[in-house]
Amino acid sequence: MGRAMVRLDPAYTVGPVRPRTFGSFVEHMGRCVYTGIYEPDHPDADELGFRTDVARLVRELGVTVVRYPGGNFVSNYRWEDGIGPKADRPTQLDLAWRSVETNQVGTDDFVDWARGVGVEPMMAVNLGTRGVQEAIDLLLYCNADTGTSWPDRRAKNGHTEPHDIRVWCLGNEMDGPWQMGHKTAEEYARVAEEAARAMRRVDPGLELVACGSSNRGMPTFGTWERVVLERCFDLVDHISAHAYYEPVDGDVDSFLASGEDMHRFIESVVATADHVAAVRGSDKRIMVSFDEWNVWFQERFHGESSLEVREAPELIEDVYDVTDAVVVGSLLITLLQHTDRVSMACQAQLVNVIAPIATRPGGAAWKQTIFHPFALTARYARGTVLRPAVACDVVETKAFGPVDSLVVTATHDPDTGDLTVFVVNRSRTETSELTLDVAAAVGGHPTAYALVEHLQVHDDDPSATNTEDHPDRVTPRPGDAAVDVTAGTTLTATLPPTSWHCIRLTEGTVQ
């Protein structure tokens, strides 16, 4: 039995909880769009063809912002093909995923869907096979008032008022040789600089995201970020980071510690951005947009060239178990731990394709195991992220050496007094007895807390999954936690192996 002590004090903070941390990603890939969010022949389709059963789950998931339309797809996408009457839209070959793209969902349709489910649209432009002019045209179509050609076309297509999209990604993974229009750092920096400058001429208030490295293992990682920011520093607000995790060669202990890699990734990008700022003598702080992250079993995917050309194929529809859910929960904790520099994050993707929501064409929609830590974190992380002091056992890992057995963060809402603790036990063998000390003084009196709820994602079988026939096999269940009733300043909880926890407390005062 392991033992752990965590001390929290609302005076020791990291930064605000950023709503855009709980973003997602919709790409024209596999069945994410077609038979995912959109299926006009489905019994639950709305008048626009979008599945209302999926929309209900998206709202329950708590997604705040959705990146669109890619992803690799965007780098050979002609956005003009996806506007206007659906009967007039051309069918095209998508080179990224070797799929037949019908263009029945495009810019206006996506924005309608996003507004309908209450999420902010985040748009990416094609800087692969296209460039500055096409980016300007799309921005004018989306954000300009009527009176010129592109916004007048938008009005003709049924949207008189601008879409007013605030966040724009300047391409996607342009350092990757798999990308259509792949570029060197210098080539990408130049086109991103020119696109950003022109887009700001159209709409100065945009938030722009420059492409960072596709992953931390890229041979150009670090150099890429430096070169891009040296050209674009004054024109962009964020730089992207992407990471996917899996148990490489069956190494589950390192897989459960994936947050260590994400932490080092963020720290490296921040250090590089701040180096560029220091050289320029600037106080500006470039933020990290971690706009692709998830568990993805890439060893099961044999590459784009192996794919047969089809329309809306079943593509990387990984089925997630309890261990995967615990890893996803730990990655969310890591993102919150870096809320001072991570401005937004997008779990990739939303439906079917490595996703928290799964669907059957013409049939049901259900929650994968990874749905639950995301939904509860999005629901209860409010106010300010605290900086806990943690003392616990360690777990030995092949990839990262010894790491803490527990990964912990907490949020405090000063308006309500609510305190929420998120914690993962990433040991596969040891239960941990957690003691949580929350005896911080407020107004000269120690603050007392009452336990509201302790929910955990855990199963005696860490390989348990949810399926269409058994959609609630894995679901959040009550955990074992108690507060010292005499003082209200100490909580104890039992954390079984390979488990994720959300512990909610509410504030009072000890007299």
d(CA 255, CA 459): 18
Q: Are 186 and 179 in contact (CB under 8 A)?
A: no
Residue 131 tokens read as 């460039």
Of 372, 296, 381, 298, the C-alpha closest to 334 is 381
Could you check whether the bond before residue 158 is cis, i.e. omega within 30 degrees of 0?
Answer: no
3-state secondary structure (DSSP) of residue 388: coil
Longest dimension (CA), the chain: 72
The number of C-alpha atoms within 13 Å of 260 and in the hemisphere containing its C-beta is 18
Residue 60 tokens read as 């329950």
To which H or E segment does residue 275 belong? helix 258-280
Q: What are phi and psi of 418, to 5 degrees?
A: -75, 140
Sequence letter at residue 484: D
Q: Who contacts 402 (Cβ-Cβ below 8 Å, separation ≥6)?
A: 394, 395, 396
- Active site residue: 80, 173, 207, 260, which one? 173
- Active site residue: 134, 225, 246, 292, which one? 292
3-state secondary structure (DSSP) of residue 83: coil
- Quick check: is 246 catalytic? no
Q: Which residues pair with 435 in a beta bridge?
A: 5, 492
Residue 274 tokens read as 């701040």
- Quick check: is 193 catalytic? no
Residue 63 tokens read as 């997604």
Tracing tokens 């040891």 back to the chain, one arrives at 430
Give me the torsion for CA of 501, 292, 115, 192, rounded to 10°.
Answer: 150
Residues belonging to the active site: 173, 292
